Structures are given as C-alpha cells and as structure tokens.
Chain A
Amino acid sequence: MTDTVLDVRNLRVEFPTRRGVLTAVDDISLTIGKGEILGVVGESGAGKSMTGMAILGLLEPPGRIASGEIRLSGDRIDTLTEHQMQSVRGRRIGAIFQDPLTSLNPLFKVGDQLVETIRLHSTLTRTQARTRALDLMREVGIPAVEERIDNYPHQFSGGMRQRIVIALALCAEPELIIADEPTTALDVSIQAQITALLKRLCRDRGTAVMLVTHDMGVIAETADRVAVMYAGRLAELGNVEDVVRRPQHPYTAGLMGSIPSLRKDMHELQMIPGSMPRLGAIPSGCAFNPRCPQAGPKCRRDIPRSDGPGAACWLALTGETA
C-alpha cells in the first residue's frame, strides 16, 4: 500500500540488566496510513511510550531495538545512525509529549524557538521564518499571535503551551506525529480543545498520528484505529468502534468494564483481579493468563499472536484454550 506512512514489523525493545534481559516491547507490528490517527492504549508499564520512543530513536541506553523493522514511507529508519536520525526527527517525525513545560526552553521566547526550529529544517530567512511562525501559531488556535509570539513559555497557560508544542512539531511539516499523552496534564475542557486540534491538523494536512494514551475516552473520540497493549505485547488491534463496543480480548473487555459510566448506574465496577506483571516476571504463554477468567492450559503454554486486526487471544483465534 502506498499510503502507509509508518510500518512497524515485529518490533522488540530490550533492556539488558544485571538480572537478565527485560523485554519492554515484544513483537509489535502496526501500521499508520496517511491522515490516520492510531491510538495506542494501555496501563502504566504496558510499553506504549516505549514503542513511541523506539520509533523516534530516543530509547535511553541500555534500551535497544533488538529485532524488527521500522519503516517511514518505505524508508527503513531503525538502522540509521544517531546523526542521520537527528534529521529524521523534527523534519519527518514530530513529537508531542505530556508535559509542555519540559518540551519548551523556559529561557527563550516561544517565537524564537519556533523560528529556530523552522530555519533548522528549511532555507527560509529570519523574517520569512517569523511569518511562518505566526501562521503556525494562528493555525493551532493561539489568539493575538502578534503579541504572544514574543512571550516566554511561563506566560502561557498549560493548554496554550501545549498548542505551542504542537506548532513546534508542525514546523517541518512532518509525515508522522507521535503524541505521547498530549492531554493528560490538561483539564477536560482544554483536553477537548487539544484533541479537536490534533484531529483537524491530521485531516487537513494528511499527517499520520500515533496517539499514545492511557485514556480510552480520548481514544474513542479521536482515533480511527486502536492498538491495546499489555505487558509489552499487542493484546488487540482494530477499528475504534469494534474495539470499544465489541472487545475480543478479555483484557480489553475488562478494561472497558472498569471505566465508570457517564450514563449507566453501576452498582459495582467490573474488576480485573491482580495487576499487570512486572517486566522481569511475565508469565509463560499469554501474559494475561493469570488474571483471565477464561484461561486454559494452552494459554499458560503458548504465546498467542495475531497478525493484523483482531485479538491476540487463543479463545478469539481458535475458539478454544485446551
């Protein structure tokens, strides 16, 4: 398919430690098309941020990509040197992180940071870059841009700062944006504004977006497809509506049931007993089997893998767990 922007195949990220090698991301395959938003959802430690970091080439040593391939519009990027990767980051892949304060330099005016980033990725003059910065700030919905461009980050509210970060990510018109919990630090009303902005940009510019979050509600309202991660593996991948309304994996179903409803009175929330295993203690077979009400002998023995959409669950794959 020509429209595939990001193609991740069998990605494995490992952290060698004194007590052995920990697998933080275990055999993940996913694609994102032009203008598509893929939600990557999971609880803390599921490996969702690690997947994003691996794609950006920002794994903290000793973390490393142990196997698999990452292609950006057909070009392999996981084998690039750090120097080559620096020109891919920013120019072809933009990044938005949870805390807008750490993504901005507090000592420089936001305009200068935008101009510097634009000039790094283009041949524009200072004046041209400033005009472009003003356009970008307008595009992400910052009011009174002529005055605001010479403000420092601390003079902006949290929501406005996140808009600046999005403008920064857009400077080089990247093919792919990786947004890691972009709305988690924001209040609900601001969160809605930021997700709407992301959706509009994605639609207008045809940018592919990987939206990493723990919040299923944000995914349901924003993403086209969703990948559910558990203990470093892909539990389920599919269209948002299918996954939210008809989850195939018992973990996804449990996750949905544990979210308090805005409409129904629930006497008790559904609970998944226990907690996600630590990386060093992932059980054999399906990583979810000790917490799964339907687990059988096969689930304790063999790791279920699903190619393409669907659930990595023996029950969903073969109809039996014996």
Chain B
Amino acid sequence: MTRPILEVDALERRFDVSAPWLNRVLERKPRRTLRAVDGVDFDIMPGQTLALVGESGCGKSTIAKLVTGLHAPSGGKIRFNGDPEKMQMIFQDPFASLNPRWRVGRIVAEPLRTLHPETPDAQVTARVEELLRTVGLSGADAAKFPHEFSGGQRQRISIARALAGEPEFLVCDEPTSALDVSVQAQVLNLMKKLQREMGLTYLFISHDLSVVRHMADVIAVMYLGRIVEIQPTGDLFANPLHPYTRMLLDTIPDLESPKRDRAPMGGEVPSPVSPPSGCSFHPRCPLAFDRCKRERPQREVHVHDRRVACFAAAEDRQESAHV
C-alpha cells in the first residue's frame, strides 16, 4: 500500500489575541486565545489533490502556513514523508509575492540557487528559460521585471519559481482568487497539466467550490478551525453529509440552474475567538438539537467512515423531518 505523502494529525494552532498587558491589568480583561486550527487531521496520497475549502476565518490558510513551516503548530503532528526540500508554495496575490526589484530570471532562479548553490550560472539560466516555457511564457521574459506582466502571467511566474526546486508537493493558497475567470481557467489548466506530467501532489486551498470541484480528488470542508466533512470530490457533490456543506452548495450562484428565488440561509460565521459551545455550527444549523450545543461531534469510523463530524448525520436525521 502506498504511504500518504503528508499526514496531519490532531493539528492545532492558537494565537494570543489578548489586549496589551497594561490594558489587561487596568481594565481587568482576561487573556484571549484564537483557535485558528483546532484539531485537524487528514492525509494526502502522492499525486493527488486535497482541497481545503471554507469561508474566511475558517483556518484554511493557517494550515497552509503550518504545513510549509511558516507557523509552528501549537499541538498535534505534521509528517511529510518526502524530502523537505521538495515542498513549495504558491500564494494568492501575484502582486505581493514577487519582489518588484528583481528581474523574473532572478526570482525563478532563487530556489535553484538556494537548494543547489553549486550549479553553474549557464545551467541556471538554461533551466530558468526552460521553466518559463513550461508555464507558457517565453525564455526572454527572464530579463523583465514583475510589473511588466499581467496578474495571470505573474501567477505563472510564481508557478515557475515553485517548480524550480523540482518539488513533489505544492501548497497552493487561493492561487487563482485574484485573477479574472478567463485567466483563472488558463492557470488551473496549467496546474492540472503539470500535475499529470510531473506527478505533483497539491494541497489546494480555496473558498470557491466550483474551482475545488474542478481541481481536487478529495475535499475537506472547514468551519471555524475544524474539518466538518472530508470526502472524495464526486461523493461530496453527490451526497454532502454535513448541513454546512449543504448550505455552502446551496448558496453558491449556479450558472446552469440559477436559484433566483431561493431564501438564503441566515446568520454569519461566529468569531473564532469565542466560538459557540459544542458543535460550532449549531446556531446556524437547521438540524441542531440539545446534544449539538453541549458536545462537540467528532469524525468517527462508524459514522460514514470518518467522513463527517455531525450528530445529525450520525443519527441520519433529515432536514425534511425537522420542523
């Protein structure tokens, strides 16, 4: 049996968001902790794409930073069964993630020079040109500065830079959210092609379920720092198990069958500093009952094979039965 390339177990990350010490003393305010990631586990198999999807503040980007080592976990384990040098990251904003004072050639060569400082200059130049062509730019673009490129082209440069280290594993944090749809399509197609050709594994973070459906093999839906549901993509769309997933699927505008007269679900994501007791989704959940307010549901083997953390799903309660 193949081993997962990434194993994440009971991962936690807390941030101290307390007021400054003096204010705490004078105004008698307690310390406050934000649990950005609160007991998350998942595995990714080599060559696959796992997507983390959820609304802002659900902790998906924090996981990207934990996996790449930009944050240290407060608890739990991350095991990467590969060469740590073979992990790279693509960020959301192609305007902020490229040094505006460096030429594209230097930007793309940076991982190469850091990981293999002994590489002769001529070889680096040749490799950079090859990488630029791989992502659909021309070798001559190496001499230009980032500001000479459009958003989509810049994201291609980010991808070329990530590929320079010959990675096995790419963490992509909202790689197309800042792009127009026609440009997004170009970048998504490129990422799929590269995955096919190079056998890359992606941890793909997005708030957009239609993008995720197109890219991912497995989707993990997050809500307030926890995975509420994790399923292979086809199963998630055919049979969403968690009420929050159903709500998300219900609210996305759908081009093919616009829900022009739907009644949108009320409520908003609560503050992660003071999450609701029990299941943090219970105040918005149409299926919530007493137990949901008291206890926190876990993903369990006997409930849909650890695919969902929900008491209602465990008891197979239906929305239609609920008045």
Contacts and interface: CB of A to CB of B under 8 A. Distances in A.
A binds B: yes
Interface of A: 43-44, 157, 159-160, 187-193, 195-196, 214-218, 220-222, 240, 244, 254-263, 266, 268-272, 275
B210 A187 contact: no
A254 B269 CA distance: 35
Nearest to A275: B150
B25 interface: no
A188 B248 contact: yes
B247 interface: yes
A132 to B, nearest CB: 25
B55 A187 contact: yes
Interface stretch (B29-37, B120-128, B252-260): B252-260
Nearest to B192: A268
12 contacts: A187-B55, A189-B247, A191-B253, A196-B264, A217-B252, A254-B182, A261-B255, A262-B209, A263-B254, A268-B189, A269-B185, A269-B188
Contacts of B213: 260-262
Nearest to A187: B55
B260 A262 contact: no
Given A188-B248, A217-B253, A260 B263 contact: no
Given A159-B268, A193-B264, A214-B180, A271 B252 contact: no
Given A43-B183, A215-B253, 9 more contacts: A43-B182, A188-B209, A217-B255, A221-B254, A221-B260, A240-B258, A260-B185, A261-B255, A263-B254
Contact of B183 (A196, A215, A275): A275
Contacts of A275: 150, 152-153, 182-183
Contacts of A240: 258
Contacts of A259: 181, 185, 210, 255
B287 to A, nearest CB: 17
Contacts of A216: 181, 255
Contacts of B192: 268
Interface string B176-196: 000011111110110010000
B55 A220 contact: no
B214 interface: yes
A189 B210 contact: no
Contact of A263 (B153, B208, B256): B256
Contacts of A193: 264-266
A192 B268 contact: no
Given A214-B180, A259-B210, A262-B210, A269 B251 contact: no
Interface in B59-109: none
Contacts of A260: 185, 188, 208, 210-211, 213-214
B113 interface: no
B318 interface: no
Contact of A221 (B253, B263, B268): B253
Contacts of B188: 260, 269
A272 B247 CA distance: 32
A220 B263 contact: no
| Of A189, A254, A272, most B-chain CB atoms within 10 Å | A189
A270 B181 CA distance: 11
Question: Which 8 A-B pairs give the minimum distances between C-beta atoms?
Answer: A217-B253, A258-B185, A192-B264, A43-B180, A260-B214, A269-B185, A187-B55, A192-B251
| Of B153, B207, B210, most A-chain CB atoms within 10 Å | B210
Given A214-B180, A255-B182, A187 B56 contact: yes
A130 B212 CA distance: 46
B262 interface: yes
A254 B185 CA distance: 10
A221 B269 CA distance: 23
B42 interface: no
B237 interface: yes
A117 B92 CA distance: 38
A101 to B, nearest CB: 14
Contacts of A256: 255
A259 B188 CA distance: 11
Given A43-B182, A260-B188, A260-B210, A220 B251 contact: no
Nearest to B214: A260
